[in-house]
Amino acid sequence: MFLRTAVLTPVVVAALVAPGAAAAPHAAGDGGPRAADGWQRAGDDITSGISGLALASRADGATHALVVRDNKEPGQNRVADLTYRPGSSAVVEPLAWAGGGEPVDLEAIEAVPGATDEYVALASRGLVYRLKVTGSEAQVLDTSPLPAIADGDDYESFALTSRHGRLAAVWADRGAGKDRPATVHAAPFSFNTYGEADFGPVTTARFRAPYPTGDVRHASDLSVTETGRLLVGSASDAGDDGPFDSAVLDAGKVSVSRSGAVRLSVDTSPDVLRTFKGHKIEAVECVPGTRTAVLGTDDENGGGSVNSARVCGE
């Protein structure tokens, strides 16, 4: 995953109270019991979790990111700017959704390499949104479906990786429990002359997380490192009050040839890099040039939190 080519201009907005309306930015919560283990609150209730995260910029020890939230009702916030600094308090500035109907259940977001302030966001049923962030708004430029959508698919992850000037997209149906593994997809990616997301031939692989167990979502998010390693977040969700449990796994490799061909390799016995009890991780984003990933959680009634861990490149 990649930083944008320009620093995101700080915005002066916060919680949406009606479609297109906004209030003032705030530091979410007081940290509570999470502060001791590095987790910073990014939201205090079921409408303010983090279901996806894309890096925007880094400066003076702070990471700026865009986050999406899986809200479904009119007027609830869909996308927000997040400022994260280890040892401090997360600052969240919700943005207004503009240029189209409010999406239902956004689950992932990714910065577009080589573009300024442009993102691709994904809803759980497979609808792809191309977004442009300008000031206090996330403007919809285009919408299009994922390829290879199957009955019952529920998507929580999307990543873009670039090699040799070529882009590839990686995404996954999350899977559910022992009977339904995640289905990971990879394909060449571009935008056509109409600005629509254009996917090439799709490669598919099954993935089972060895941890956690029980009510597991085998792929709650994914990230591709600079060396092409595929990291997958997995999470267990027993209901809106938990208990929750999560892991980040080294799950395989994604490669892009000079001709743009995409190869996906998924390990049958992935390595568990870190576990995170008490949290449902739904965002894993490797920071280029480091071994660090920024992690976001959607802990349902417990709100959302952000943290970092050295899992990229381990």
Answer whether residue 18 shows pLDDT above 80: no
Instruction: Give the alpha-carbon dihedral of 142, 110, 139, 104, to 10 degrees.
Output: 80
Structural domain count, the chain: 1
CA distance 203 to 188: 10
Which residue in the block uniquely carries the two structure tokens 């709650």?
A: 220
> Residue 162 falls within a domain, yes or no?
yes
Contact predicate 236/259, CB 8 Å: no
Domain contains 300 = yes
pLDDT at 23: 37
Please tell me the least confidently modeled range out of 1-15, 119-133, 225-239.
Answer: 1-15
Domain housing 176: 37-310
Considering the domain boundaries, does residue 14 fall inside one? Answer: no
Per-residue pLDDT tens digits for 31-87:
444 455 799 999 999 999 999 999 999 888 899 999 999 999 999 999 999 999 988
User: How far apart, in whole angstroms, are the C-alpha atoms of residue 180 and residue 10?
Assistant: 42
- Res 96 pLDDT > 60: yes
Smallest CA-to-CA distance from 234 within 207, 202, 262, 266 is with 207
Using a pLDDT cut of 90, give the percent of the chain over it. 82
User: Is the residue at 19 inside a domain?
Assistant: no
pLDDT value at residue 25:
52
C-alpha distance from residue 12 to each of 26, 79, 95, 190, 204 (Å): 10, 14, 9, 32, 42
Q: What CATH number is attached to the domain comprising 53?
A: 2.110.10.10
- For residue 148, give every residue at least 6 positions away whose Cβ sits within 8 Å of its Cβ, in sequence order, or none: 185, 202, 204
- In this structure, is residue 257 part of a structural domain? yes
pLDDT at 92 over 80: yes
Place of tokens 């999307």: 158
How do strand 91-98 and strand 137-145 relate by DSSP bridges? parallel
Question: Could you tell me if residue 122 is inside a domain?
Answer: yes
Q: What is the pLDDT of residue 304?
A: 97
Residue 27's pLDDT is 54
Q: Is the pLDDT of residue 170 over 70?
A: yes
Nearest CA to 226 out of 285, 309, 158 is that of 285
| pTM across the whole model | 0.88
Give pLDDT, residue 197. Answer: 94
- Specify the 3-state DSSP secondary structure of 135: coil
Among candidates 252, 210, 211, which has minimal Cα distance to 231? 252
In a domain, 31, yes or no: no
